[in-house]
Amino acid sequence: MKDKKIIVGITGGIAAYKAAELVRLLVKAGAQVRVAMTANAVRFVTPLTFEALSGHRVIRDMWGQEETTIDHITWGQESDLIIIAPATANIIAKMAHGIADDFLSTMVVAATAKILVCPSMNDRMLINPAVQNNLRILNERNFAVMVPGEGQLACRSEGPGRLPEPQEIVEHAWTLLSPQDLSGQKVLITAGPTIEPIDPVRYISNRSSGRMGFALAKAARRRGASVTLVSGPVSLMPPNGVTFIPVKTADEMKNAVMENRSGCNIVIKAAAVSDYRPKDRAQQKIKKGPDSLTLDLLKNPDILSELGDTKKQSPCVLVGFAAETEDLLANAEAKLKAKNLDMIVANDVSRNDAGFETDTNIVKMIFPDGHVEDSTLMTKDEVADLILDRIKSLK
């Protein structure tokens, strides 16, 4: 969210306290955040909290606190996004009917920025026909309106009306701020390692953390794609809005990929699949015995090769990864050809700042015409967007 200007408008509901975490997450993501609070919001949380988190003065009313006399006009026109969280029944009604009687509502009327509305209120208030009608008006006018969560509410009743979690609001904001250039595209991504059981307590695996594949899934989703993510065991939360299929072994990954490849425009195999599995899986824990022990291994199916061999039947842009510790370019080029790929992303997994278990990566993108493009060292989120840009140009 670097260089993005976001305004968080906080109104007077108990969930105002969650807006503190929202502001923190937006600032962490690199956005420049300004906060406007209504008079009632200030009764729940002090502006000081938001001033400390955003690094800027909070604006509360039209009279005397604005930095210039026309902030209520310029704020909503110079920002990229306005997030109203929590949005009470009152602000929803005001926005639906163009009422401008304080700083926040006046700014909304004058705004040209996109507006994300995050309703939060008592469940009876939410289902009130007047509130529902006002939400319908906002939806029809191209406001982005999030669906409130369900569960225990602060008023001790159970039902819909909870403010969506701050992380979900941030994810929605990302989507609104991203180009929707993959809209209508179906994307299948694999991530993480596979694990191949030896006995009930041991397995063969590798050091893949799944971060690159998850970053690709998140970026594709933000750019409007419909994403299926097949992942081996990792300690990451599946990105919001992605169909997530957890698997363990290479065989399970192969089945999940083959069942879901149909109709996909883009298939990206970022997973580090175990090449071999134990020939026999012991039913009980193998006991300590002689000084040396030999494991008999069988070759696993090469999922990417099978996708490449059958590309004519299921046409798609097919992208592989090459994890190498030596001869990066030559090894990756050989895999690109052998697996009939449209692009391969090569990374040197022996580096400390790239490959497995890191937040950064540096890659070579290699194409069938011999063209090679080097990335700089970037975060995996940035590498993901770069890879998607190149895939888009192949389509």
The binding site for ligand CTP (CB under 6 A) comprises 250, 269, 271-273, 275, 300, 302-304, 320-323, 335
Copy the structure tokens of residue 187.
Answer: 């994307």
**Catalytic-residue membership of 118:** no
Measure Cα distances from 208 to 50, 178, 191, 270, 354 in Å.
38, 28, 8, 10, 11
Q: Which helix (H) or strand (E) holds 252?
A: helix 250-260
Pairing of strands 378-379, 360-361: antiparallel
State the Cα–Cα distance between residues 6 and 81, nearest whole angstrom.
5
Least Å distance, CB 111 to ligand CTP, is: 45
> Smallest gap, in angstroms, from Cβ of residue 331 to ligand CTP?
6
Tell me the residue type at 377: L
Residue pair 68/41 in contact by the 8 Å Cβ criterion: no
Q: Which of 118, 155, 264, 316 is catalytic?
A: 155
Q: Which is nearer to ligand CTP, 102 or 196 (CB)?
A: 196
Angle at CA of residue 26, ends 22 and 31, nearest 5°: 150
Q: Which is nearer to ligand CTP, 150 or 259 (CB)?
A: 259
| Tokens at 247, concatenated | 């698997």
- Count of C-beta atoms within a 10 Å radius of residue 81: 23
Least distance from ligand CTP to the Cβ atom of residue 199, Å: 22
What three-state secondary structure class fits 293?
Answer: coil
Helix axis angle for 18-28 and 47-54, nearest 10°, is 10
Question: Closest approach of Cβ 142 to ligand CTP, in Å?
Answer: 40
Q: Which is nearer to ligand CTP, 143 or 203 (CB)?
A: 203
Residue 79 or residue 274: which is nearer to ligand CTP going by CB? 274
Neighbours of 368 (CB within 10 A): 14
Q: How far is the CB of 256 from ligand CTP (least distance, A)?
A: 12
**Residue 113 CB, nearest distance to ligand CTP (Å)?**
40
The burial of 89, by beta-carbon neighbours within 10 Å (0-12 exposed, 13-18 middle, 19 or more buried), is given as buried
Based on CB atoms, which residue is closest to ligand CTP, 164 or 213?
213
Residues 187 and 222: beta-carbon distance below 8 Å: no
DSSP-derived secondary structure for 56-88: SPPB--SSS--SSTTHHHHHHHH-SEEEEEEE-
Q: Which is nearer to ligand CTP, 171 or 348 (CB)?
A: 348
CA separation, residue 385 to residues 14, 26, 171, 220 (Å): 37, 19, 15, 8
Show which residues are catalytic: 155
